[in-house]
Amino acid sequence: MLNNENLKNRDIYLNQLIAFQDKEPVKVVTGIRRSGKSKLLQLMIKHLLNEGKDESQIIEMNFEKLDYSLMSYIEVYNYVKNKIIKGKRMYLFFDEIQRIDGWENAINSLRVEYDVDIYVTGSNAYLLSSEYSTYLAGRCIEIKVLPLSFKEFLYFNDFKVENIDSAFGGKKLVILDKLNKTYSLKEAFDAYLLFGGMPGVSDIGLDQEKAFMLLDSIYNTVISRDILIRERKRNQNNITDAILLNKIVLFLADNIGSNISFSKISNTLMNEGILEKDKKKKPSPHTVESYINSLLETYLFYEIKRFDIKGKEYLKTLGKYYISDIGIRNYLLGFRDRDKGHILENIVYFELLRRGYDVAIGKIDDKEIDFIATKFNEKIYYQVTLSMNDELVSKRELEPLLKVKDNYEKIVLSLDEGNEIYNGIKSINLINWLLN
């Protein structure tokens, strides 16, 4: 049943599943394709077996496999029903279940009729849309799986962080590979900036040509299967132009961390001649919005809202978009060092999500704070920049934070050595922050 080969731990997500083990809610694992959802189910199965559960209590169905992909939801229900052992608690694992029309009927019936603990995965937010959530309202918990963090990237590629003696006294952090070859933190971080965090890249080794072939496959599957084919299955005609969809992807990827409106995208595509064959058919802002929503549903991009700190309300205009994997962006656009500031923002945004924060852009007067991260009674303000060594840059990054008069922590993350304090504002090295 369980293939332990190349099964790396993802404790941040596994612990969330374990916390809800044997509790009523259906565990719904979501995230972009190939981000590790299937492996997470395998990790959970391994945990159950280590606890002493019998293999006969575990039922797995992967709907990417031909054996199951052509089933109806009634056939899914009957397949599981015939494998249930009376008097035993059963653990049901359904991978990429959104491929089955009416899947929610099978899941809900099994949940109600039998002593079962249910885990499902899906690569589309449509899985939890209002249409489906009515069946499972209040009875499901979502576990959002993201591509690898920098720390996970090191672990998946068999790198270790070691604290060694520095030639100039004191200690310094270095990276060791499995052959004990030494690299600097910056070298390892630069590799992360290039390859991104898709777990499959680590499986094939850090080879750019092979990595981009894998990322090409993931990207095209997201565009074709998760958007265009799904739209046809839903009998929707909102997303029909594959060329326009790709152009919008390229625009968003090229403008991560920038304030964007639907009308701006529409005008840019037209004015720059990007849609040469359809110059007389400029996409309306409403059309652009529909296409972007389809990308958000696949978890390829995430939207972040702006929050007016003084007015204490979210603003409806000029949000920003970040791409879930920086490796996919490099595959689409090529690696460009001039974009590094926004790339660092992208990495910090997803790291904050991994750490369980709700994240917004901060607006105060005419200034902007990159991120406001909140969790329970905790709030932290973050600015992200390449360096604070330039006086003008330092002033630009600190000024918005100095305008905020509350007592919550304020941090500037950069590639500088860090550990400085400006009027109570901490300057921290970004790479060290990612490793903590």
**How many alpha carbons lie under 13 Å from residue 436 in its C-beta half-sphere?**
8
Walk along the chain (436 residues) and give the pLDDT tens digit of each residue: 666 666 999 999 999 999 999 999 999 999 999 999 999 999 999 999 999 999 999 999 999 999 998 999 999 999 999 999 999 999 999 999 988 988 989 999 999 999 999 999 988 876 776 455 566 667 889 999 999 999 999 999 999 999 887 777 778 889 999 899 999 999 999 999 999 999 999 999 899 999 999 999 999 999 988 888 877 766 666 788 899 999 999 999 999 999 988 998 988 888 766 665 555 578 888 999 999 999 999 999 999 999 988 888 888 777 899 999 999 999 999 987 778 999 999 999 999 999 999 999 999 999 999 999 999 889 999 999 999 999 999 999 999 999 999 999 999 999 998 778 888 999 999 999 999 8
- Quick one: pLDDT at residue 132? 58
Residue appearing with tokens 């630069």: 190
- Quick one: pLDDT at residue 411? 97
- Quick one: pLDDT at residue 16? 96
d(CA 346, CA 352): 10
d(CA 419, CA 352): 20
Kindly give the pairing relationship between strand 425-429 and strand 409-414: parallel
Q: Is 244 within 8 Å of 275 (Cβ atoms)? A: yes
Residue 73: what residue type? Y
**How many alpha carbons lie under 13 Å from residue 290 in its C-beta half-sphere?**
14
Terminal C-alpha separation, the chain = 36
- Quick one: pLDDT at residue 2? 60
Q: With CA atoms as reference, report the closest residue to 351 among 370, 367, 332.
A: 370
The two structure tokens encoding residue 157: 């590629």
- Quick one: pLDDT at residue 245? 93
Q: Is 143 within 8 Å of 152 (Cβ atoms)? A: no
Which residues are CB-contacts of 368 (< 8 A; sequence separation ≥ 6)? Answer: 306, 361, 362, 400
What is each CA distance from 77 to 55, 71, 74, 412, in whole angstroms?
20, 10, 5, 53
d(CA 205, CA 307): 41
Which residues are CB-contacts of 33 (< 8 A; sequence separation ≥ 6)? Answer: 123, 218, 221, 222, 226, 298
Could you give the 3-state DSSP secondary structure of residue 131? Answer: helix
Query: For the purposes of burial, counting CB atoms within 10 Å of the CB of 169, is it exposed (0-12), middle (13-18) or buried (19 or more)?
Result: exposed
How many residues in the chain?
436
Where residue 172 falls (left for φ over 0; alpha for ψ -120 to 50; beta otherwise) is beta
Residue appearing with tokens 């199951």: 68
Instruction: Return the biggest CA–CA distance within the chain.
Output: 72
d(CA 144, CA 125): 10
- Quick one: pLDDT at residue 271? 78
Q: With CA atoms as reference, report the closest residue to 309 among 410, 387, 396.
A: 410
